[in-house]
A and B are shown apart, each in its own frame.
Chain A
Amino acid sequence: GAVVSQHPSRVICKSGTSVKIECRSLDFQATTMFWYRQFPKQSLMLMATSNEGSKATYEQGVEKDKFLINHASLTLSTLTVTSAHPEDSSFYICSARQGRKAFFGQGTRLTVV
């Protein structure tokens, strides 16, 4: 299957700082990528849909100014958690669609201290 690389896999940051997470499709072009958040033992909650060359579409309740998404190329989308707080600590996962299938990155475990 297609490969999606997400980096970093783990990050610990201080409260008030910003963190950037990258999601790359390595062997295919993805006009659409998705960002999810997953709390322990829960399902994946879609945060936003990232569209190459245009603004991301955010799900209801997700703060656009806090979770900045940039999809500058067909192989790269980034999620920046701005002014992170401890409640932002979570597992963030991206996926990229190839046809009807979605392939997931390895996920990023963010811990805000």
Chain B
Amino acid sequence: GQQVMQIPQYQHVQEGEDFTTYCNSSTTLSNIQWYKQRPGGHPVFLIQLVKSGEVKKQKRLTFQFGEAKKNSSLHITATQTTDVGTYFCHLNNAGNMLTFGGGTRLMVKP
């Protein structure tokens, strides 16, 4: 079956530092979505990546989809306290199986 690894599990950064979370799949993906969940809240859709090698930006957030469509990353430049939360990747493979990564919990020190 499909295996997903999201790293790191936790990340503490000083406000202003950069942050990156990685999501790796054992199988080729149709697409990948990224979600953010604030403490006590529900996952909120951030972005979807579909094309091999795709790069998308949302203000300080940069999302990448690997050439082989097996991995993806989310990079935040100059973190702010509002970036605190858990970031999940959500995978959809050719068999239409949906799986969440384990999440990366980001903590930002002001």
Interface on A for B, CB 8 Å cutoff?
Answer: 1, 6, 34, 36, 41-46, 93, 95, 100-107
Instruction: Identify the 7 closest CB pairs spanning chains A and B, nearest first.
Output: A107-B42, A43-B102, A104-B42, A44-B100, A104-B43, A43-B103, A43-B100
User: Does B70 sit at the interface, judged by CB under 8 A?
Assistant: no
Query: Chain B's interface: helix, strand, loop or mixed, by majority?
Result: strand
User: Does B48 sit at the interface, judged by CB under 8 A?
Assistant: yes
Number of A-B contacts (CB under 8 A): 45
Query: Chain A's interface: helix, strand, loop or mixed, by majority?
Result: strand
Contact status B92-A44, CB under 8 Å: no
* B side interface size, CB within 8 A: 20
Q: Which of A93, A100, A104, A106 contacts B31 (CB 8 A)?
A: A100
User: Does B90 sit at the interface, judged by CB under 8 A?
Assistant: yes
Report the bound CA distance from A103 to B92 in whole Å: 15
Cβ–Cβ < 8 Å partners of B102 in chain A: 42-43
Contact status A46-B42, CB under 8 Å: no
